[in-house]
């Protein structure tokens, strides 16, 4: 409930003083959209991170020729 109120308040501030309930409605809609998209975005990010870690572990270590090192 706090998220709905905060979104409505923020939307009202963005819309301005003379816009009435339009800003509150926009803010409420933005809060509802964030509630649905944030968990999905977090899941996709976690899966991408896990895939990158898995791919890096499968990659063989770099092999450098012996003449490449300063001696």
- Output the CA angle 48-53-55, nearest 5 degrees: 90
Residue span of the structural domain in which 18 resides: 2-55
Q: How confident is the model at residue 17 (pLDDT cuts 50, 70, 90)?
A: low
Summarised one tens digit per residue, pLDDT across range 20-60 is 677 667 777 777 777 788 888 889 999 999 998 988 888 77
* 61 against 57, higher pLDDT: 57
Total domains, the chain:
1
Identify the residue with better confidence: 68 or 47: 47
Q: Is residue 33 part of a domain?
A: yes
Domain membership of residue 19 (yes or no) is: yes
**Torsion, Cα of 60, 62, 67, 71 (10° steps):** -120
pTM for this prediction: 0.44
**Within a domain: residue 41?**
yes
Instruction: Tell me, yes or no, whether 36 lies in a domain.
Output: yes
Domain-located, residue 45: yes
3-state secondary structure at position 69: coil
- pLDDT number for residue 3: 67
How high is the pLDDT of residue 59? 78
């Amino acid at each position: 409930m706090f998220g709905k109120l905060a979104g409505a308040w923020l939307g009202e501030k963005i819309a301005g003083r003379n816009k009435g309930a339009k800003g509150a409605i926009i803010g409420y809609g933005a809060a509802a959209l964030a509630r649905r998209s944030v968990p999905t975005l977090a899941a996709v990010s976690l899966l991408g991170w896990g895939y990158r870690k898995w791919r890096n572990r499968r990659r063989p270590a770099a092999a450098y020729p012996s003449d490449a090192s300063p001696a």
